[in-house]
Amino acid sequence: MMLSRILAIGLALSSGSAWAQAVPQLKSVTVDLPAGDRQFPGGAAADAINNNCTACHSPGMVLNQPNLPKAAWDAEVQKMITAYKAPIDEADVPAIVAYLVEAKGAK
């Protein structure tokens, strides 16, 4: 009886340590993104989009999107704010949408 208890305890301990070894170790990873100095064209008309959107998006990525109507661009900007927590100043939203409509609005 005692021997079966010792064997059961030994089996439990050995299978537990095997399981612990199978668990992957998580570690932090950092990613260095290439610096980009490209800006949206348009001078002062592009200030709001350059100041708010280039932290996450390259101008090329945005300007390669399909032409969309104003309502769709407004929805995209709102999605960036609500879903992705983009730190876009609400006062800049109309200027950003206006820029996108001018540059990539549905014709």
SS3 content of the chain, % helix, strand, coil (to 5): 60, 0, 35
More confident residue, 100 or 34: 100
For residue 3, tell me if it sits in a domain. no
For residue 37, tell me if it sits in a domain. no
Give how many domains the chain has, as a whole number.
1
Q: What is the mean pLDDT of residues 21-47?
A: 82
Dist CA 97 CA 75 (whole Å): 9
Q: pLDDT digit string (tens) for 60-91?
A: 999 999 999 999 999 999 999 999 999 999 99
CA-CA distances (angstroms) from residue 50 to 14, 19, 31, 66, 96?
A: 59, 51, 23, 19, 9
For residue 54, tell me if it sits in a domain. yes
For residue 29, tell me if it sits in a domain. no
Dist CA 51 CA 42 (whole Å): 13
For residue 57, tell me if it sits in a domain. yes
For residue 98, tell me if it sits in a domain. yes
pLDDT of 54 reads 94
pLDDT of 4 reads 72
The domain of 50 spans: 43-104
